[in-house]
Amino acid sequence: MIALPATRKVKKPDRAPKSHRTRTAGEYCGLNGFQNAQTKNNRDTLMTPFSLWRTSALVGTLLLGTHAAQAETFRWASATDPQTMDPHAVSSAPVLSFLNNVYEGLVRRDRDMSIEGSLAESWEPLEDENGWRFNLRQGVTFADGAAFTAEDVLFSYERASSEVSDVRSWFAPVTEVRVVDEFTVDFITDAPNPLFPDSIANFMILDKGWAEANDAALPARDAENFATINVNGTGPFMVQSRDPGVQTVLVPNPNWWGEVEHNVTEGIFTPIGNPATGLAALLSGDIDFIQPIPLQDAVQVEERDGYKVLEGEETRVIMFGFGHEHDTLLYSSDVTDTNPFSDVRVRQAAAHAINMDAIDRVLFRGKIEAASQLVPAGISGYSDAHADGIPYDPDRAKELLAEAGYPDGFSFGLKCTNDRYINDEALCRAAASMFAAVGLNAELSTGPVRDYWPQLREDDFDMFLLGWSPGTFDVEHPVRFLLHRQDDEKKLGSWNFGNYSNARIDELLPMIQQEIDPAKRQAMVDEIVQISQDEVAYIPLYTQPLIWAAKQGVDLTQRADNFFLLRWVTVN
């Protein structure tokens, strides 16, 4: 770990979170063209480029008090430990959320999910070619004291866009990155791209000299190198110690450039995979905050003096995916020479077998919204024209299986996590029962997320569970990651594990990235959604709820992307 200087005193501001409103593509980009885009990182004017998440779910901020609180140790827990400390290795919310405490990007999301400057003070479209210029913040240092410059941005881009990086799809539109001077960087894109600044909110900057000196010039995705276990960022906190899977201790960065809004002198994170154990730790006073808690325990926490529950709606859609390109099933005892899921009728049958009303009632106590698309209603590009998904109809499911040549059904493997999403294992057990009722006999395999992603990357599945939150708060994001065919050269489809492929969707992706006329763009998006629904690229299930619990004296912010940031915590 980096040696830590003495901790400074912190103060608490008296300002409240900024308000927000919805913006259309026309408002952001200007109906007269791309060059009219808002370019300053002004909190009052610059929002996400298209519509923001619905007001009720966008912010769960508990307003800070008007007087400073005494500095405190803060202890928190979550079901999942970040599997790496490398911000370019894994595009996973638990990793990116945690690392946002210690690393920073050119831009970041505020409490209300709007984009604001971080290591870049301002940005604007280039005048003579497609792309964006970022004007960097001066006087910033990494935790080891090294100065932050444009060379670190270029190095981090090359590292994050490499073939071994899990976040390379963020840079699919980028053709070149140029260092203009010590504090100016140009990102050249293949076409006008008004979404680009929003798309790199989690692109974190590493110190070039530190990474190269420690043989970490490239990320290690499913392996280990110096950057997977050590941290040297510019963020508001630094890693004092880390025991993976056991405990990570953060302390404030005394040389951070930003305004301190917390009173935490030490942040102690403990992963607790068992929900009952986590709840017991909270109610016994061993921890101050936990995310998430079981839905069935919310009432118990609310009725307990000194505790509170924060609820909301996440932007994450939970879905099932298929091994579209597999020649055969890997886990079938009765179909060994073909892949039934390559037939759209079989995929339709699987979708018809799911009873979302029962899942909502039994597993989620009425707290989820059924999904028909890869983004929830309220996200920019959501298709109102295709708001109805495939209905629960077990009789139709059996008919479709018979038409496809499987009147008696067949067996297959279903892989799921047991520590990544709320009630994930229970969901998959319920779904397996529903599949069996129509003749689809699932061999269920569940396990921790640290083992799960490598299995999916190795095509070790027939059907799998996935949750997706659009990083740009726009439908373009899952199209780029989940629907476009896998294309390493173009850095596209990096999370399209089953390699679903449709040439028309691939053709439409760059068009929706560039189109600034809202009506024309939505027509293209509607076509993409219709194709993905007709072909059952995935089975969207529901929007995941947010449910956190904390002691009454803890003030924090619950964002709609389920990221928890220590810089907004006050312990009273």
Give residue 24's pLDDT band: very low, low, confident or very high (50, 70, 90): very low
Give residue 69's pLDDT band: very low, low, confident or very high (50, 70, 90): low
- For residue 523, the Cα-to-chain-centroid distance in whole angstroms is 26
Q: State both tokens at 545.
A: 């709820």
Measured in degrees and rounded to the nearest 5, phi and psi for residue 408 equal: -100, 5
Give residue 71's pLDDT band: very low, low, confident or very high (50, 70, 90): low
pLDDT of residue 488: 87
Give residue 222's pLDDT band: very low, low, confident or very high (50, 70, 90): confident
Residue 394 has pLDDT above 60, yes or no: yes
The average pLDDT across 116-142 equals 98
List, for residues 142-166, the tens digit of each pLDDT value: 999 999 999 999 999 999 999 999 8
* Least confident segment among 21-25, 262-266, 294-298, 376-380: 21-25
What CATH code would you report for 26-306+552-571?
3.40.190.10
Residue 89 has pLDDT above 80, yes or no: yes
- For residue 482, the Cα-to-chain-centroid distance in whole angstroms is 13
Higher model confidence: residue 32 or residue 355? 355
List, for residues 436-447, the tens digit of each pLDDT value: 999 999 999 999
CA distances to 134, 229, 409, 491, 522 from 115, in Å: 14, 29, 49, 24, 23
DSSP H/E element including 478? helix 476-478
Helix ranges, 271-373 (H): 275-283, 298-302, 344-352, 356-363
Residue 45 has pLDDT above 60, yes or no: no
**DSSP-derived 3-state class of residue 415:** strand
* Residue 389 CB burial class (10 angstroms; 0-12, 13-18, ≥19): middle
Residue 32 has pLDDT above 70, yes or no: no
Answer for the pair 332, 462: CB distance below 8 angstroms, yes or no. yes
List, for residues 530-572, the tens digit of each pLDDT value: 999 999 999 999 999 999 999 999 999 999 999 999 999 999 9
pLDDT of residue 12: 29
Higher model confidence: residue 69 or residue 411? 411
Q: Rounded distance, CA 122 to CA 41, Å?
A: 6
Question: In angstroms, how far is the first alpha carbon of the chain from the final one?
Answer: 30
Place of tokens 């010590």: 182
Beta-carbon contacts of residue 185 (< 8 Å; ≥ 6 apart): 133, 134, 136, 150, 153, 154, 177, 178, 179
Helix ranges, 189-289 (H): 196-199, 208-213, 226-229, 275-283
pLDDT of residue 164: 92
CA distances to 321, 374, 417, 426, 459 from 448, in Å: 18, 24, 6, 14, 17
Give residue 114's pLDDT band: very low, low, confident or very high (50, 70, 90): very high
Higher model confidence: residue 35 or residue 124? 124
pLDDT of residue 296: 87
HSE (CB half, 13 Å, CA atoms) of 560?
26
190: number of Cβ within 10 Å: 16
Higher model confidence: residue 61 or residue 285? 285
pLDDT of residue 221: 78
List, for residues 445-492, the tens digit of each pLDDT value: 999 998 999 999 999 999 999 999 998 899 999 999 999 999 988 889
- For residue 516, the Cα-to-chain-centroid distance in whole angstroms is 25
Give residue 260's pLDDT band: very low, low, confident or very high (50, 70, 90): very high
Going by C-alpha positions, the residue among 438, 447, 454 that lies closest to residue 92 is 454
pLDDT of residue 490: 86
Kindly report the average pLDDT of the chain as a whole number. Answer: 88
Q: State both tokens at 56.
A: 């009720």
**DSSP-derived 3-state class of residue 555:** strand
Q: Rounded distance, CA 531 to CA 507, Å?
A: 13
The average pLDDT across 80-99 equals 94
Beta-carbon contacts of residue 243 (< 8 Å; ≥ 6 apart): none
pLDDT of residue 223: 81
> Which segments of the chain belong to CATH 3.40.190.10?
26-306+552-571
> Which segments of the chain belong to CATH 3.10.105.10?
313-545
List, for residues 178-193, the tens digit of each pLDDT value: 999 999 999 999 999 9
The average pLDDT across 56-68 equals 38
Topology classification of domain 313-545: Dipeptide-binding Protein; domain 3 (3.10.105)
The average pLDDT across 311-334 equals 96
Going by C-alpha positions, the residue among 561, 554, 564 that lies closest to residue 62 is 554
Residue 49 has pLDDT above 60, yes or no: no
Beta-carbon contacts of residue 77 (< 8 Å; ≥ 6 apart): 269, 270, 271, 272, 278, 281, 282, 287, 289, 290, 291
